Amino acid sequence: MVIIPREETRLAQTEPAPDQRLYIHNLVKRDPLANLADDVRKGLAAQPKRFLPKYFYDELGSQLFEAICLLPEYYLTRAENEIFQRYAGEIVAAVDDRITLVEMGSGSASKTRLIIEAILQRQSQLVFMPVDISRTAIESSSRILLQSYPKLTIDAYAADYFTGLAELGKKPRKRTLALFLGSNISNFDIGEALRFLRALRSVLNKGDALLLGADLKKDPAILEAAYNDALGVTSAFNLNVLARINRELGGTFDLHKFKHVAFYNESMGRIEIYIESLFTQTVRIEKLDLEVEFAAGELIHTENSYKYDLAGIARLAEETGFACSRTWLDSQERFSSNLLLAS
């Protein structure tokens, strides 16, 4: 397999066979460490303090998230997998014509395999266009997929969502099925979700489709357990943001002096996730030449996870140029996969 360099990408050819089925466009032009430094400085100056959730996903953070997906309390991944195992054929059949597959935030693309298999049962060849901020994740997942599916070609974009969408908009495609899986839409505030879906709709043609995963509102005890597992893996995932600042920016966070906090805000319809300072303390971040004071009990906001009902999903679709065509639920009706048609 040969990786064809495009734009700034210059990746080594690690296999001699000239099976030119993988193209990676590296559109992450700025030094990621500079982005981290700027965002940490801004976040610690904000009131309340905050970190952006995208910084969860360094190498260790990504491994911790994969572990979270296996936890008994974290039902989301199992519920979505169940939907795909039962209904992938129906989902693909609901999209007319020969399909090009696009995925935003593809990550390991583990669940995507079920959709890929369903498409390849219907057509002889498939072009898959994943977009993910991590070039390492895209390259790794792409190689695994290409080994499994000889009829697959991958045209991948290492980019943030909006940069990736801008590039996708320049390319003619056959009928497109776009994927936004997991409950990634949940990490956007409502205004951000509308902005993202409108940007996605702008690169689709009428009749193209988006398969949108969305976690559903349910008993708060079930929701809170999913983000407060007994083994403490979610806690380690959240606190890894502090460890990353220590590793990459010369921070002096003592992780034993902070704790993970997650609870369901029913009025807002969202899980809110924080890091709480257990003591009055001062932390220095060497590469920012910054000292930060924390009060005992002070919270750093790291993430929200919004939960939806079906009416809310339909409103999102209507306000962003889509029509909600079909919805599939898991057997316990905890999670939804929604087919939105570009109208």
CB 335 within 8 A of CB 216: yes
In terms of Cα–Cα distance, which of 73, 62, 159 is closest to 110?
62
Q: Which of 236, 299, 214, 184 is nearest to 61 (CA)?
A: 236
Q: Is residue 31, in this structure, part of any structural domain at all? A: no
pLDDT at 136: 83
Q: By residue range, what is the domain housing residue 256?
A: 53-68+220-306
Burial class of 338 by CB neighbour count within 10 A (0 to 12, 13 to 18, 19+): buried
CB 108 within 8 A of CB 77: no
pLDDT digits (tens, 9 = 90+) for 305-314: 999 999 999 9
Q: Are residues 257 and 173 in the same domain?
A: no
Within-domain flag for 40: no
49 beta partners = 300
CB 129 within 8 A of CB 102: yes
- pLDDT by position in tens, the chain (length 343): 434 444 433 333 333 334 589 999 998 776 666 789 999 999 999 999 999 998 998 889 988 998 999 999 999 999 999 999 999 999 999 998 899 999 999 888 888 999 999 999 999 999 999 999 888 888 989 999 999 999 999 999 999 899 999 999 998 898 999 999 998 999 999 999 999 999 999 999 999 999 999 999 999 999 999 999 999 999 999 999 999 999 999 999 999 999 999 999 999 999 999 999 999 999 999 999 999 999 999 999 999 999 999 999 999 999 999 999 999 999 999 999 999 999 9
Is residue 42 assigned to a domain?
Answer: no
8 A C-beta contact, residue 185 and residue 194: no
Q: Find out whether 322 and 200 touch, Cβ atoms under 8 Å.
A: no
User: Domain for residue 38, yes or no?
Assistant: no
Q: Are residues 250 and 193 in the same domain?
A: no
In a domain, 3, yes or no: no
> 159: which residues sit within 8 A by CB, 6+ positions away?
25, 27, 28, 131, 132, 133, 167
What is the Cα–Cα distance from 53 to 188, expressed in whole angstroms?
10
Phi, psi of 81 (to 5 degrees): -60, -40
| Owner of token pair 């889509």 | 322
Judge if 169 and 291 occupy the same domain.
no
What is the total count of domains within the chain? Answer: 2
Three-state DSSP class for 20? coil
Q: Say if 27 falls within a structural domain.
A: no
Structure tokens at 174: 């056959």
The whole model's pTM is what?
0.89
Q: Does one domain contain both 107 and 165?
A: yes
| Residues 175 and 292 both lie in one domain | no
Q: Please tell me the chain's helix, strand, coil percentages from 3-state DSSP, rounded to the nearest 5.
A: 40, 30, 30
Q: Indicate if 200 and 326 belong to the same structural domain.
A: yes
pLDDT of residue 31: 62
Question: Does 289 lie in the same domain as 314?
Answer: no
Task: Tell me how far apart the alpha carbons of residues 51 and 269 are, in angstroms, rounded to a whole number.
Answer: 21
What's the CATH code of the domain at 152?
Answer: 3.40.50.150
Please indicate, yes or no, whether residues 131 and 182 belong to a single structural domain of this protein.
Answer: yes
Sequence-distant (≥ 6) Cβ neighbours of residue 310 within 8 angstroms: 216, 327, 336
Pairing of strands 299-306, 270-277: antiparallel
Whether 194 and 274 share a structural domain: no
Q: Where does residue 3 rank: exposed (0-12), middle (13-18), buried (19+ CB within 10 A)?
A: buried
* DSSP secondary structure of 27-93: ---S-HHHHHHHHHHHHHHSSSEE--GGGG-SHHHHHHHHHHTTSSS--HHHHHHHHHHHHHHHHHH
Are the C-beta atoms of residues 233 and 263 closer than 8 Å to each other?
Answer: no
> In a 3-state reduction of DSSP, which class is residue 337?
strand
Same domain for 101 and 192? Answer: yes
* Type of residue at 24: I
Are residue 96 and residue 107 in the same domain, yes or no? yes
The answer to whether residues 135 and 103 belong to one domain is yes
Number of H helices, E strands in the chain: 10, 15
10 inside domain: no
